[in-house]
Structure 1
Amino acid sequence: MKLGLQLGYWGAQVPHNHGELVTAAEEHGFDAVFAAESWGSDAFTPLAWWGSRTERVRLGTSVAQLSGRTPTNCAMHALTLDHLTGGRAILGLGVSGPQVVEGWYGEPFGKPLARTREYVSIVRQVLAREAPVRNPGPHYPLPYDGPGATGLGKPLKPITHPLRADLPIWLGSEGPKNVALTAEIADGWLAIYYSPRLAPMYNEWLDEGFARAGARRTREDFEIAASCQVIVTDDRAAAIANVKPILALYIGGMGAPELNFHAQVYRRMGYEEQVEAIGQLFRAGRKAEAAAVVPDAMVTETMIIGNAAQVRAELDVWEAAGVTMLLVTCGDVEQVRLLSEIANGATTELAG
């Protein structure tokens, strides 16, 4: 199982040590580095900037938001990054949620699966550069012929020849229909709040997509990159307690009460009552009480926390569940080094 470094998106200030982390990730054998976006920093610029200091690691967006760019514009970003880095780009895409899409981008959130399918199809047309790009719509009609159109639009090919027609496209998806779509049209799945215990359920969703006519990949050449907080510590109980307020934020505050994808993920795990209680308390401003409702199992089901031996054992579990890459966050260079050593140790033990 490979390791990927997740830089995430910026907070109020620009992170001071991302350059060091990226350099360390390359030095210690990480396979890839990913950057994200929400409604502040973008996902592509940090990869171009830090990618210029590396030679080997792949560089991926996790995720670029569909509503932030038209599909042809997104393809331009991807092909440019791919050229600048010698074919190391991974285009990770996701629909985000209605609060961001409608509140920040001013676009309708409806029909996320249909929009994703069209979007990916157009990006692949640009990267293939076999013919002028056309799409009948309804979400991204090319050429545009709707209200206000001049009628002068014409199908175009990208001026710049893409470096790779098969530049990998990974999708961030959480629900059963979206995961099945991911297996059908994408090269990889960016999984958030992945639970190895639920691997049989995920496999059913994935297999539905792989079985569809025209599916792009099979399970053998499809990548599953799961985001996972890994904390190496001798005080496991304290580390679990420290994570609970963050989990309560995502379950109770990162999305509307009517539609919170993160909350839905934990409901599928069987935490319906806890999710409901966390949401009510968090929205009432009782954040500490919301965190207190989070049971230890909710944390340890989707995160790896413990001493080096416990972490090594858990890495084996995640790999056996089908994860091909673990996307981890690291606060400093020492954590990058330590996780690399533990992962390599786990690999050695399996091999022996």
Structure 2
Amino acid sequence: MKLGYHTGYWSSGPPAGVAEAVIEADRLGFDSVWTAEAYGSDALTPLAWWGAATKNIKLATNIMQMSARTPAAAGMAAITLDHLSGGRFMLGLGASGPQVVEGWYGQPYPRPLARTREYIDIVRKVVARETVEHQGEFFQLPYPGGAGLGKPLKSTVHPLRPEVPIFLAAEGPKNVALAAEIADGWLPLFYSPKVDGFFRAALAEGFGRPGARHTLDDFEVAASVPVLVHDDVEQAADFIRPMLALYIGGMGAKGANFHRDAIARLGYEAECDRIQDLYLAGDKKSAIAAVPTRMVEDLALIGPAAKIRDELPAWEETVITTLLVQGDVNAVRKVAELFS
């Protein structure tokens, strides 16, 4: 299982110590570094800025939100960063959720899977330097109407590679199957060995569709998994609880929170309902306290180094090919030591 470093979301500014951690991850032989965006910082600028100081590590987005850019703009970014990095770029895409898509980007959210299929098709045409024509339900190139002067175009820049790896963020089984069918990799957010069989089945459905690009043997799964080496398990869990409470309670409306659904699938339906109710009522402190330690341990590797090493084999037997971790320079070094 390979290691990747995820820089995480910005808060009021850039995460402290990330630039040094990226350089250290590159030095220690991490396979990849990933940047995120929500509705503040973007994913591309930090990746280029921090990635410019690296030599070998792959540079990737996790995720670039599709509603933030037209598919042509995403393809242009892929060509550009792939050239600047010497062929190290990987494009991680995701649909985000209706609150962000409609509230921040002013785009419609319904039917995200069909929209994703068209989006990736256009991105691949741009990167391959094909003349781009697409008349779909969601995207039309050239645009029908307007000034009436649009014509099919192809990139002025010759790509360094005819393809860049495309990863798709997905949590529900239908979206996971779509990733297996049309993408080169999958970006799960909340994974656990407990649900490995469930997601193997979803992936198998996608691999079995006509025109699927891969099989499980050559498909990448890069999962964000918190890893925290700490002598006290409860104290380690306390660092993870606020993040889980936020995603369960605050990252989506009641009845339309895909993150909450993914965690409930682990057997925490009642716990997720309580956390969500508390969070939406404004009692974030109680919502955080309601996150059980066993939930954290299902979704993360926490505690003393010996405990984490004992738990690693279960993770290595899953479909995960790359473990994405976060933290400062010291955290990066501790994780590298665990996997050495």
Alpha-carbon distance in structure 1 between the residues aligned to 2:263 and 2:233: 22
Q: 2:330 aligns with which of 321, 331, 334?
A: 334
Partner amino acid, structure 1, of 2:21: L
Alpha-carbon distance in structure 2 between the residues aligned to 1:195 and 1:322: 10
Match of 1:343 in 2: 339
SS for the counterpart of 2:141 is coil
Verify the 8 A CA contact 1:9 1:42 in the aligned structure 2: no
Match of 1:304 in 2: 301
Verify the 8 A CA contact 1:63 1:93 in the aligned structure 2: yes
Match of 1:245 in 2: 242
Match of 1:164 in 2: 161
Q: 1:314 aligns with which of 306, 311, 316?
A: 311
Percent identity among equivalent residues? 54
SS for the counterpart of 1:212 is coil
Match of 1:12 in 2: 12
Q: How does 1:128-167 map to 2 (within 5 A)?
A: 128-129=128-129, 131-146=130-145, 149-167=146-164
Partner amino acid, structure 2, of 1:52: A
Match of 1:29 in 2: 29
Alpha-carbon distance in structure 2 between the residues aligned to 1:290 and 1:300: 17
The reply to whether residue 230 of structure 1 matches residue 235 of structure 2 is no
Once the two structures are TM-superposed, the CA of residue 167 in structure 1 deviates from its matched residue by 0.6
Number of matched pairs: 340
Partner amino acid, structure 1, of 2:300: M
Q: Which runs of 4+ in 1 moved over 3 A?
A: none
Q: How does 1:1-352 map to 2 (within 5 A)?
A: 1-129=1-129, 131-146=130-145, 149-330=146-327, 332-344=328-340
SS for the counterpart of 2:140 is coil
Verify the 8 A CA contact 1:9 1:43 in the aligned structure 2: no
Partner amino acid, structure 2, of 1:156: L
Compare 36-45 and 12-21 and name the one that shifted more: 12-21
SS for the counterpart of 2:246 is helix
SS for the counterpart of 1:138 is coil
| TM-score under structure 1 length normalisation | 0.94
Partner amino acid, structure 2, of 1:188: G
Once the two structures are TM-superposed, the CA of residue 299 in structure 1 deviates from its matched residue by 0.9
Alpha-carbon distance in structure 1 between the residues aligned to 2:338 and 2:38: 31
SS for the counterpart of 1:159 is coil
Alpha-carbon distance in structure 1 between the residues aligned to 2:239 and 2:12: 21
Alpha-carbon distance in structure 2 between the residues aligned to 1:287 and 1:45: 32
Alpha-carbon distance in structure 1 between the residues aligned to 2:198 and 2:89: 30
Alpha-carbon distance in structure 2 between the residues aligned to 1:15 and 1:302: 23
Unaligned residue ranges in structure 1 (runs of 5+): 345-352
Once the two structures are TM-superposed, the CA of residue 9 in structure 1 deviates from its matched residue by 2.4
Once the two structures are TM-superposed, the CA of residue 291 in structure 1 deviates from its matched residue by 2.1
SS for the counterpart of 1:231 is strand
SS for the counterpart of 2:299 is coil
Q: CA RMSD in A?
A: 1.1
What do residues 43-85 of structure 1 show as CA deviations (whole Å, max 9, x unaligned)? 0111111111111000000000000000000010111000000
Alpha-carbon distance in structure 2 between the residues aligned to 1:179 and 1:208: 9
Alpha-carbon distance in structure 1 between the residues aligned to 2:270 and 2:15: 37
Once the two structures are TM-superposed, the CA of residue 241 in structure 1 deviates from its matched residue by 3.0
What do residues 121-154 of structure 1 show as CA deviations (whole Å, max 9, x unaligned)? 000111112x3101111111111115xx222110
